[in-house]
Amino acid sequence: MSPIELNKRQVEILDIVKGNGPITGEQIAERLSLTRSTLRPDLAILTMAGFLDARPRVGYFYSGKKTSQAISDNIAQMLVKDFQSIPVVVEEGMSVYDAICQMFLEDVGSLFVVDKKSVLSGVLSRKDFLRTSIGNQDLTKMPVHMIMTRMPNVTYCLKEDTLIEVANKLMSRQIDSLPVVKETKDGLEIVGRITKTNITRAFLSLADDHDL
Ligand code: ADP
């Protein structure tokens, strides 16, 4: 589905109405140094698309709400790259003890693990650490590669993927986060992190954009 692409003049009209509405077509035309008839098609499009409301003898005002079509277009266009966070990465040889400290220090719910070539090799979550901690092992001596979920079982995504694809993966695999990766000749390079928190933030930005 293609989004509603507003042209420059339509955007200018929206700004004028947002700041000055209710305002007549005549007054909008005056501000843009155009005639009322030149503006007529743009005003019709903005009204039909639900950006503006028109009241007879009152004028145009910003409806504050976009059409459901505009909202669904907006959701479909939300991409990982616009909402991702900075990944927290540890090496395979790091001890479980140090990795737990790292998780607290960085205030994250999952760590991504890389091998000597800095290529994605695993994921560590809170539950992985809890499971290990209730055993009788010496956490300072155990490397994280012993307890991580390892490749090829790691679910990941790319910067250009949509948030809908990510949300589907998070729900179907029952996990909280995905590494965002770039494919290189050596393997997958970690470039970001996307979590349920990012999806919640995206959800709120959508509500904000549409004055919900
Ligand atoms: P928590 O342990 O805080 O509930 P998750 O639900 O994300 O966090 O993790 C549950 C399990 O899934 C853990 O064993 C973890 O290693 C694994 N896991 C987490 N993220 C991924 C991922 N992106 N791909 C594959 N496995 C993952």
This model's pTM is above 0.95 = no
DSSP letter at 145?
G
pLDDT tens digits, 40-76: 999 999 998 888 988 888 899 987 655 666 778 788 8
pLDDT tens digits, 112-153: 999 999 999 999 999 999 999 998 889 999 999 999 999 999
Please give the distance, rounded to the nearest whole angstrom, from the Cα atom of residue 49 to the centre of ligand 1. Answer: 43
Nearest CA to ligand 1 atom 18: 175
Structure confidence at residue 87 (pLDDT): 98
Q: Is 196 in the pocket of ligand 1 (CB under 6 A)?
A: no
Please give the distance, rounded to the nearest whole angstrom, from the Cα atom of residue 147 to the centre of ligand 1. Answer: 12
Structure confidence at residue 195 (pLDDT): 98
Structure confidence at residue 55 (pLDDT): 87
Asked whether residue 105 carries a pLDDT value surpassing 80, the answer given is yes
Q: How confident is the model at residue 157 (pLDDT cuts 50, 70, 90)?
A: very high
Q: Which long-range contacts (CB under 8 A, 24 or more apart) does 194-198 make?
A: 194/80, 194/83, 194/84, 194/85, 194/157, 194/163, 194/166, 195/85, 195/109, 195/110, 196/170, 197/85, 198/83, 198/84, 198/85, 198/163
Nearest CA to ligand 1 atom 26: 154
Asked whether residue 3 carries a pLDDT value surpassing 60, the answer given is no
Nearest CA to ligand 1 atom 5: 175
Burial of residue 208 (CB within 10 Å: 0-12, 13-18, 19+) is exposed
Check residues 95 and 212 and name the one with the higher pLDDT: 95
Contacts of 36 (CB under 8 A, 6+ apart): 25, 26, 29
Q: Is 125 in the pocket of ligand 1 (CB under 6 A)?
A: yes
What's the half-sphere exposure (Cβ side, CA atoms, 13 Å) at 40? 4
Give the sign of the dihedral formed by CA 198, CA 119, CA 114, CA 131. Answer: positive
Asked whether residue 205 carries a pLDDT value surpassing 80, the answer given is yes
Structure confidence at residue 66 (pLDDT): 58
Nearest ligand 1 atom to alpha carbon 176: 7
